[in-house]
Structure 1
Amino acid sequence: MGTGKKLFVAVKDVPSNAWIPVGTLSFSDGAYKFQYTKGVQRIADFVPFGRMRDISKEYFSNELFALFKNRILTPSRSDYDQYLAWLNLEKENADELSILAISGGERRTDNIEIFPMPTMQDGRYCYDFFSHGIRHMCDGCQDRINALKAGDRLFLCADKQNLFHSEAWMLRTDTPKALVGYLPRFFSHDLSTLFELISNPDDISIRVVQVNEGAPIQFKLLCRLEAPWPEGFKPLSSKDFLPYQAS
């Protein structure tokens, strides 16, 4: 059931084009829990989800809330096993929160995205993610993605002139050099902070986990980021990620 896993729920603020975390989803002691975060304060006329109307409350359920369950492919579907393979999940480990953590739970009918709190593994910052923005890359770049192999290293380029996200990080290959997408926006600030705290930039590594032939483009390129976890470092620590508390 993903016990101990903590996911964040973000919505797109259309006027600013910014993605803002507005809630957390977790599972412990046999129940799912949803709680709004202070990010809701940055969105004018924020509309709470479904029946979770009071943004100051914590919500509990024995089953995954419908808002999130509807973002997971039904196990009875004939393509469910392929779906798990794209996410690099074994069926016995494919609990609902693990699926949402990798897939992002995106739907074309709304502006909601789900992402996990990075975990410390052997003292390192670790995060598996799908490369973002591939649909905006040129055809040649997409051909370069198809040529990648598991274990290939990718490199980071700061996209300081990005009109929508000044902390954006692009992903590129080595030789030949080609852009192959973006780091998910929610981890950009973490990465900028890690580069400031770590003496050797090469200690931050992004490698290809797998390239999913025939997958929807949002599931095309699965990567893994690993970096040292400096003493005192706290991931996703801005005010937006803190639990909402009524004043």
Structure 2
Amino acid sequence: MPSVLEAPVADVVTETELLVIWQQPSTRAMVPVGILTFDGETYAFNYLPNVAHVAEFRPLLGFRDLAETYKSDELFPLFRERVLDPTRPDFVRVLDELSLDPAATPWEQLVRSGGSSEGDTLQVTPFPRESAEGWTCTALVAGVRYLAKKTVETTDGWTRQYSDVELEALLGGLAPGQSLRVIAEVGNDYNADAQLFFTEHDEPVGYLPDWLAKLTAPCLHDGTSVRVVVDRVNGVNAGWHLRVLVTLHVGESFADLQSRLEVATRSY
């Protein structure tokens, strides 16, 4: 498992380890399958233990051996193709939406963007880091527009649908530093651990990414503290998967998280 990292200074990309997430075709579950690292000079990739037992999983392009440690002086092609092309006309705008400088490195882009677009089957995300209260993790809110167009049952009751105007008003009312609540959804056939972000006024903002919800579900069940703070809110020109960036602060030991991550990989 990766080493323990200290929480980075705000607005500075210091993560050296990224969790690689793959979407299982039949269930659409987002499954952690590997760790991508960068120490400032060398990139490395390792599969997680037990990935060979994940149903339907096949080795990723360029990484055929599940037991090998891959190293390179350059970002591996599979991940390099997920970095923004500097010649794109919206290059500067998208980096701004990710709270990055135009001179951001490919690694910094991966850390903030997840290296994927909507519908992609592979993404990366900052590996949870040890913190004073347990562990912390930065993530993009998922399913923002999808949630607004339906009603779902949670442990606190039913949500309501939002018009496009109401949704934009809701997102426009969010601000960096604002606290959100995490509430479990009831009866989700696709993901039994599905959880939603809510404002203090009981307005649903979106979903926790599935892989992260699987890790936080036991914490909600046993009363472990799960705090969420808004880091960044982007405007209507941003893709839906880039609209809201948050950080979770969980009062569970980092060692327990690492153990459960390995167990979670076996369950797919």
TM-score (norm 2): 0.76
Aligned to 2:144: 134
The offset of 1:76, in angstroms, is 4.3
The offset of 1:131, in angstroms, is 0.7
Which is further off, 34-43 or 209-218? Answer: 34-43
2:169 partner amino acid: D
SS in 1 for 2:261: coil
Aligned to 2:93: 82
Which is further off, 204-213 or 34-43? Answer: 34-43
Correspondence list, 1:1-247, <5 A = 5-28=16-39, 30-37=41-48, 38-44=50-56, 46-90=57-101, 94-107=104-117, 110-136=120-146, 137-138=148-149, 139=163, 140-175=166-201, 177-195=202-220, 201=225, 204-213=226-235, 214-230=237-253, 232-235=255-258, 237-239=261-263
1:187 partner amino acid: L
- 1:139-196 CA-to-partner distances (Å, cap 9, x unmatched) read 3344312222222221111013111111111011122x22110111111233233345
Q: Distance in 2 between matches of 1:195 and 1:62?
A: 41
The offset of 1:109, in angstroms, is 7.0
Q: 1:97 to 1:193 in 2, by over 3 A?
A: farther
1:211 partner amino acid: V
Q: Distance in 2 between matches of 1:119 and 1:190?
A: 13
The offset of 1:107, in angstroms, is 3.5
Residue correspondences, number? 235
Q: 1:191 to 1:141 in 2, by over 3 A?
A: same
SS in 2 for 1:233: helix
SS in 1 for 2:33: strand
Q: Distance in 1 between matches of 2:52 and 2:31?
A: 8
Q: Distance in 1 between matches of 2:130 and 2:85?
A: 30
Which is further off, 52-61 or 103-112? Answer: 103-112
2:133–2:249 Cα contact (<8 Å) kept: no
- 1:88-131 CA-to-partner distances (Å, cap 9, x unmatched) read 23456x34333223211113574112122111244542222211
Aligned to 2:159: none
The offset of 1:227, in angstroms, is 2.9
Gaps of 5+ in 2: 1-12, 150-162
Which is further off, 159-168 or 146-155? Answer: 146-155
Q: 1:110 to 1:215 in 2, by over 3 A?
A: closer
2:20–2:124 Cα contact (<8 Å) kept: yes
SS in 2 for 1:165: coil
Structure 1 consecutive aligned stretches of length 4 or more whose deviation exceeds 6 Å: none
Q: Distance in 1 between matches of 2:195 and 2:93?
A: 30
Q: Distance in 1 between matches of 2:51 and 2:67?
A: 12
SS in 2 for 1:161: coil
Gaps of 5+ in 1: 243-247
- 1:2-61 CA-to-partner distances (Å, cap 9, x unmatched) read 7762112222111122222222211237221112222342123x3322232222222111
Which is further off, 160-169 or 106-115? Answer: 106-115
Q: 1:95 to 1:194 in 2, by over 3 A?
A: farther
Q: Distance in 2 between matches of 1:80 and 1:17?
A: 30
Give me the CA root mean square deviation: 2.7
1:22–1:40 Cα contact (<8 Å) kept: no
Q: Distance in 1 between matches of 2:230 and 2:254?
A: 27
Q: 1:21 to 1:123 in 2, by over 3 A?
A: same
TM-score (norm 1): 0.82
SS in 2 for 1:51: coil
2:15–2:111 Cα contact (<8 Å) kept: no
1:217 partner amino acid: W
